[in-house]
Amino acid sequence: MSRAPILLLALLLCAAGAVAAAAKTTVPKFREAPHFTNSPAARCPPLLASSGADAACSPDAAVHVAMTLDASYLRGTMAAVLSVLRHASCPESVYFHFLASSSSGSTPPAELAGAVRGSFPSLAFRVYPFVDESRVAGLISASVRGALDRPLNYARSYLASTLPHCVRRVVYLDSDVILTDDIASLAATPLHADAAVAAPEYCGANFTAYFTPGFWASPSLSSTFRGRGRRACYFNTGVMVLDLPRWRRAGYTAQIEAWMELQRRVVRIYELGSLPPFLLVFAGRIAAVDHRWNQHGLGGDNYRGLCRGLHAGPVSLLHWSGKGKPWDRLDAGRPCPLDAVWAKYDLLRPDAGIESL
């Protein structure tokens, strides 16, 4: 073989390596967050800053919070954590559980954990590799927005099998939220005897729009909402309180997977990612939470991400669900009015106002 083809092959291999390296999302350098002590120390015993399970099982862990952790949304996660600590009555007693992708090509969980530790040196947390990722990938069917099809978007369905069994109740939060109230109030939401999930309900929404006409035309499918004791209503899965022992006893993960399997293998019954399987299992069966705990839709719709305002009423949690994320709009110089609230908690931008929090 002449040198020319060998040289060409070497150049192609180098180019491929460069493209692969560029495709990897790197973890940016975040600033260290302020340390908050919001109540007397005697009232708020601190947890050991630990990445292990011991602190999670401590009786002093007053509130457990679960979130996903990945490079693409890490900036939002960091802001959300900061907002939780800023407004918690006992930030020292909040334990965070982060689920991270373990697939090849993803940012290693240890690197993500290092970013969290760098900004929150005293935070009690643990990072869990999402071990069910390949299983979930085989059940996902394409939705209206590619970001909704990532396996990690389905990790909330596997909290009961991932978190230590000593954790009985957990607040699940999406990465695009900001709290302006004490998360302990949300975590203390009463769950009636047969409820494993609590979330704000929106019974004025067009519930039928979340499923295909074929679903509603089939009595064997649409009858799933009958006999639930009350009307099935839409709820947003980005903010939930979960009773994990009840979840395990009822086998809710298997029920969610069964609907995903039906959608993937047999008949298309919904269009919108991980939300419809939750509605199929839980709508009409959840404990209601005040709407102030999920002022959602601030990211606009799933197609254009246009600016939206708040719903009427008080605000304890702002949620940029939808296509438009505040960090993207701020970086592009086209923020929506409410993005200024999120910007106060941004640990990446040098002009963020965290010093005044």
Q: What is the mean pLDDT of residues 280-297?
A: 95
Any domain includes 344: no
Q: What is the mean pLDDT of residues 324-329?
A: 96
29-44 per-position pLDDT tens digit? 999 999 998 888 768 8
Domain that holds residue 74: 55-292
225-266 per-position pLDDT tens digit? 998 878 999 999 999 999 999 999 999 999 999 999 999 989
Looking up residue 81, the CATH number of its domain turns out to be 3.90.550.10
What pLDDT is attached to residue 21? 40
What pLDDT is attached to residue 196? 97
Phi, psi of 214 (to 5 degrees): -65, -35
- 3 pLDDT above the threshold of 60: no
What pLDDT is attached to residue 281? 97
Any domain includes 281: yes
Q: What is the mean pLDDT of residues 185-195?
A: 93
Any domain includes 142: yes
Q: Please, which pLDDT band fits residue 22 given cuts at 50, 70 and 90?
A: very low
105-130 per-position pLDDT tens digit? 789 999 999 999 999 999 999 999 99
Any domain includes 170: yes
Any domain includes 356: no
- Domains in the chain, number: 1
- Give ∠ CA 265-158-191 in degrees, rounded to 5: 115
Task: State if pTM tops 0.85.
Answer: yes
Any domain includes 83: yes
Any domain includes 37: no
Residue 295 carries which DSSP code? B
| Close Cβ partners of 354 (under 8 Å, ≥ 6 residues apart) | 31, 33, 34, 82, 344, 345, 346, 347
Q: Please, which pLDDT band fits residue 20 given cuts at 50, 70 and 90?
A: very low
Q: Please, which pLDDT band fits residue 311 given cuts at 50, 70 and 90?
A: confident
> Position 321: which residue type?
S
Q: Please, which pLDDT band fits residue 304 given cuts at 50, 70 and 90?
A: confident
Q: Please, which pLDDT band fits residue 6 given cuts at 50, 70 and 90?
A: very low
Lowest mean pLDDT among 206-210, 244-248, 298-302: 298-302
- 15 pLDDT above the threshold of 60: no
- 2 pLDDT above the threshold of 60: no
What pLDDT is attached to residue 147? 64
Any domain includes 163: yes
| Close Cβ partners of 224 (under 8 Å, ≥ 6 residues apart) | 280
Percentage of the chain modeled with pLDDT above 70: 87
d(CA 103, CA 340): 35
d(CA 145, CA 147): 6
